[in-house]
Amino acid sequence: MTRTATATRTGGRSARRAMRTAPNFEMLPGLTRGIPLCEVMDGAQVERIDAASMDILENVGVQFRDPIALEDWKKAGAKVEGELVYLDRGLVRGLIATIPSDFTYHARDPKKNVRLGGRHSIFVPMTGAPFLRDLDDVRRNPTLDDLAMFHKLSHMLPALHSSAHHIVEPYDHPISQRHLRITYSSMKHSDKTFMGMTTSPKNAEDVMEMCAILFGEEFLEDHPVTTGNCNGNSPLVWDETMLGAMRAFCRRKQPVLCSPFVLGGANTPASVPATVAQLNAEALSALAYTQVIRKGAPAIYGHYLSTVSMKSGAPMAGTPEISLMNFMIGQMARYYEVPWRTSNTLGGAKTFDAQAGYESATTLQAVIHAGANYIWHSAGWNEAGMHCSTAKFIVDAEQCAMAYRMAEGPKWHDFDQAVSAVGDIGPGGHYLGHPHTQDNFQNAFFMPDMFDNNSIEQWQAEGCVEITERALKHARKLLAEYQEPTLDTAKNEELLDYIARREREIPAADELNQTY
């Protein structure tokens, strides 16, 4: 849906019609939730999960496969045996208490700054797809141009608050240098906030340097501008690559998502509460380490959730247990007073079909009612993340706009005026011509662009267009109307100079840069 300005009666019906039909790509403000949370645990059950997680941290331990992290933990007072770190609950509680409960992301366009934490949430597109379904719905390898296309669409879709980073993997550029071009594309094609690559510590340091060019070194000290994601290896392992990237972000006070990677029943117990207890321990160990790196650095309680089919071993999305775990994780994050991240619109469908819609809708409703803050993978995800669907990207973004509207809660600003219309119309009348209706109907009820609610006769007369074709047509229209946000010429040149220098220093190779 394109966001339209509120019409007034000034100018008459033709003016209102023009305002309704004129596209407006203004980003929705960050979501401020106005509906109750769905909480499936009582206070005693929350404390039971907390106690179980603390027992895991104290008695089972967490493996930190990184000599720097092990030395850091020794200095912080943790018990370290080999690569195993045993964390006292008092130490953990003291460390996570210094994580900000909320903060503001600062975008290239200050009007697109967004607050995160508490009642404040944002929608972020999917990332990491090795394939895409393109504007012709053909599944193929992506390029840098395809990545730019998704960054442009992210810029124009009102409900998306970020351009993310590698929405798709650009195969036409060497893996060792790819992070530079991905980061530049995020910065150039959108002026919303974005994510930073954490695929190696060196890559993360490059992202920080590029952010310093774009925003200024001193600005980074007190202003979150990007987000890094650090995945754990469940059960109970954090590796050297992720921990090194975490240090690069935390030292510059840039937020990181501390995300255990859960395949329920495979790398966690075959139990929802026990899975949450393990995941909680894993997340807490990483959250605590962010504060060992730098006290007060913003950090986000993260996770990736999937359950595993015991028939095939394949990951499953949109299942009841994933919804329950999201509700429970939300409660745990609020218990510790830290922002939290979840994954949205996930699914395993191979095309944009009914399965894709059902899976995504199930997860979307759950994460909204769970009160998630950083709502990642909100557009495009399909085939268990193996491809980003252009058509689904468009429809998912509109679904996020609909969920946004629901999560705001009822609007009461015109209640008295609207109720007075009942007396004006009386029994048996209609409201279509009433001044209140004329002034408010276009904003009173959400009107999706991607759904067809016309009669079957009209649908047939218009060519029997189904949602995939409709969404791809809309994507082409958006791209035709895209206007690149102005990037300061000097900063742009400095970014390009930095990329050119680093591409000379980093040998082109089909492996991540860990050395240069």
Three-state SS for 100?
coil
Count other C-beta atoms under 10 Å from residue 289's C-beta.
29
Residue 3: its pLDDT value, please?
A: 46
2 assigned to some structural domain: no
CATH number of the domain bearing residue 299? 3.20.20.480
pTM, to two decimals: 0.95
The verdict on residue 438 lying in a domain is no
* pLDDT band at residue 6 under the 50/70/90 scheme: very low
Quick one: 433 exposed, middle or buried, by C-beta within 10 A (0-12, 13-18, 19+)?
exposed
| Contact present, 287 and 299 (Cβ < 8 Å) | yes
For residues 59 and 48, what is the distance between their CA atoms, to the nearest angstrom? Answer: 16
- Inter-residue contact 213 to 491 (CB < 8 Å): yes
* Residue 23 near residue 188 (C-beta atoms within 8 A): no
Q: How far apart are CA 454 and CA 432, in angstroms?
A: 19
* Residue 253 in tokens: 């006070």
Model pLDDT for residues 84-96, shown as the tens digit of each residue: 999 999 999 999 9
Residue 488 lies in a domain: no
pLDDT band at 20 (very low <50, low <70, confident <90, very high): low
Closest CA to 225 of 242, 202, 207, 243: 207
* Residue 414 counted as domain residue: no
SS3 254: coil
Is 430 a residue whose pLDDT tops 80? yes
Q: What confidence score (pLDDT) does residue 12 get?
A: 55
- Model pLDDT, residue 160: 99
Helices marked H in 371-455: 390-408, 415-425, 435-444
3-state secondary structure at position 367:
helix
Query: Does the structure show a pLDDT above 80 at 4?
Result: no
List the domain range (segments joined by +) for residue 275: 103-408
Distance CA 187, CA 40 (A): 40
Q: By C-alpha distance, which of 325, 339, 327 is closest to 96?
A: 339
CA atoms within 13 A on the CB side of 445: 4
Which phi and psi (to 5°) does residue 390 adopt?
A: -60, -45
**Predicted confidence (pLDDT) at residue 2 exceeds the cutoff of 90:** no
Integer distance in angstroms from the first to the last C-alpha of the chain? 44
pLDDT for residue 313: 85
Q: With bands split at pLDDT 50, 70 and 90, how would you rate the model's confidence at 119?
A: very high
pLDDT level of residue 17 (50, 70, 90 thresholds): low
Q: In the β-sheet with 341-343, what is the strand arrangement from edge to edge?
A: 31-32, 120-123, 374-376, 341-343
Domain count, the chain: 1
Residue showing tokens 């809660």: 409
Q: Which two tokens stand for residue 83?
A: 């690569």
213: Cα within 13 Å, side-chain hemisphere? 23
**Beta sheet of 387-389, edge-to-edge order:** 139-140, 131-133, 387-389, 381-382
The proportion of the chain whose per-residue pLDDT surpasses 70, expressed as a percent, equals: 96
356 in a domain, yes or no?
yes
Q: How does pLDDT run across 185-238, given as a tens digit for each residue? A: 999 999 999 999 999 999 999 999 999 999 999 999 999 999 999 999 999 999
pLDDT value, residue 315:
87
pLDDT of residue 13 exceeding 60: no
- The DSSP 8-state label assigned to residue 383 in this structure reads G
- In the chain, the amino acid numbered 41 is M
CA distances from 376 to 19, 97, 195 (A): 32, 25, 11
Domain assignment present for residue 219? The answer is yes
Here the tokens at position 230 are 């650090």
Question: Both tokens of residue 39?
Answer: 């909480």
Three-class HEC string of 216-277: CHHHHHHCCCEEEEEEEECCCEEEHHHHHHHHHHHHCCCCEEEEEEEEECCCCCCCHHHHHH
Determine contact, residues 161/397, Cβ cutoff 8 Å: no
- Quote the radius of gyration of the chain (alpha carbons, Å): 24
Tally of CA atoms within 13 A in the half-sphere of 87 that contains its CB:
31
Q: How many residues does the chain have?
A: 516
Give the lowest-confidence range in 103-107, 171-175, 311-315, 488-492: 311-315
Q: What count of other Cβ atoms lies within 10 Å of the Cβ of residue 481?
A: 11
pLDDT score of 373 more than 50: yes
Q: How many degrees, rounded to 5, is the angle at CA 137 between CA 133 and CA 141?
A: 35
Instruction: Inform me whether the pLDDT recorded for 9 exceeds 70.
Output: no
5 has a pLDDT exceeding 50: no
Question: Is residue 297 assigned to a domain?
Answer: yes
238-283 pLDDT tens trace: 999 999 999 999 999 999 999 999 999 999 999 999 999 999 999 9
Dihedral Cα 232, 235, 239, 244, nearest 10 deg: 40
Mean pLDDT of 59-84: 99
Predicted local confidence at residue 365, as pLDDT:
97
Residue 461 has pLDDT above 50, yes or no: yes
Cis peptide upstream of residue 235 (ω within 30 degrees of 0): yes
pLDDT value of residue 406? 98
Under 8 Å CB-to-CB from 211, ≥6 apart: which residues?
A: 196, 220, 225, 226, 252, 254
Element (H, E) at 479: helix 467-481
- pLDDT of the residue at 8: 40
Mean pLDDT over all residues of the chain? Answer: 95
d(C-alpha 415, C-alpha 288), whole Å: 47
The secondary structure of 144-174 as a DSSP string is HHHHHHHHHHHHH-TT--B--S-SB--TTS-
Name residue 512's amino acid.
Answer: L
80: which strand partners? 85
| Residue 73, in any domain of the structure | no
